[in-house]
Structure formats: structure tokens, C-alpha cells
Amino acid sequence: MIQREGSMEAELSERINKAVKTYHTMSKVFLRNKKISRKSKMMVYKTIFIPTLIYGSEGWVLTNRLKSKIQAVDMKFFRKVTRITRRDKIRNDIVRAELGVESISHRVEVQQLRWFGHLNRMKESRPAKRVWEARVQRKGIRERNGTMRW
């Protein structure tokens, strides 16, 4: 859901909250268990956690602040799997490299590009294609300080 200012903050907060709930549910039984392999934990990450976090991300407009928020949730999962705490002062990219995963913002960008490829190939009659190619009429728009005002 896009807010008046064009921000995706509300939708992203909802997705993050759902991912955090998923994380806590898994953490109690699954992530803390030393007998479960890292490979199994990462399989659960790919099949449950990631889809919960980035569902609907094809239409997101990510600012640096929002990227930071989703990356923090993602890293929380990774640090639990690797048993590396923030106190260990090990950089996020090193933790990701150890697990062999890409950043969540890169994954979102790939998903967005995939969606735009689908949009590009759609027939002109499809509603999604029409919305994507829609042009806003400029009547009643004023520009102030380089930003558009409606």
C-alpha cells in the first residue's frame, strides 16, 4: 500500500513484522537446535522466511532507510544460524559470504526486474500493463524546490 507521500513504509513494516514473527516461531524450536544442520536451516530460510519477508516486493520503492530495515531482519536470521552475535564485530558481508547468500536488497532488485520483464511482454489490454504505462496529466501540478506538488 502506497501512502500519500509515495512511501512504502506501512507495507514494509507489515512485511517485516510478519517475518519477525516467523523468525521467533522458528527460533524457539528450530534455529537454536544444534543438531539441525546449517544447510537445513538455510533451506527453511529460502522456502519460508524470504517469501514471508519479500512478498509483493515487485512494486516496492526502496529508500536506503527501508533497505536498511529489511537487511537488519535478514541479518538477524543469519546471525542466529551462524551463532555470530553483533558483539563479535563481524561484518554482515562476511556473515553472508560464510553462508553463501546474497543481500536481501539484491534479491528484491532481481525480483523487481523479473516483474518488469513480465510487464514488458504483456499484452496492451492487461490492466497491469495499462497501469504501468499510464501517464499522469500535468494539469494542476506545481513544482516547488524540485519536487512535484499535486
- List, for residues 11-37, the tens digit of each pLDDT value: 889 999 999 999 898 887 888 888 999
Q: At residue 4, does pLDDT exceed 80? A: no
User: How many other C-beta atoms lie within 10 A of the C-beta of residue 23?
Assistant: 21
Highest mean predicted confidence (pLDDT) among 8-12, 57-61, 107-111: 107-111
Question: pLDDT at residue 141 above 70?
Answer: no
**pTM recorded for the entire structure:** 0.74
| Ranges 10-19, 82-91, 141-150: which has the least confidence | 141-150
Q: What is the pLDDT averaged over residues 100-121?
A: 92
Q: What Å distances lie between residue 123 and 58, 72, 111, 119, 135, CA to CA? A: 19, 39, 20, 9, 18
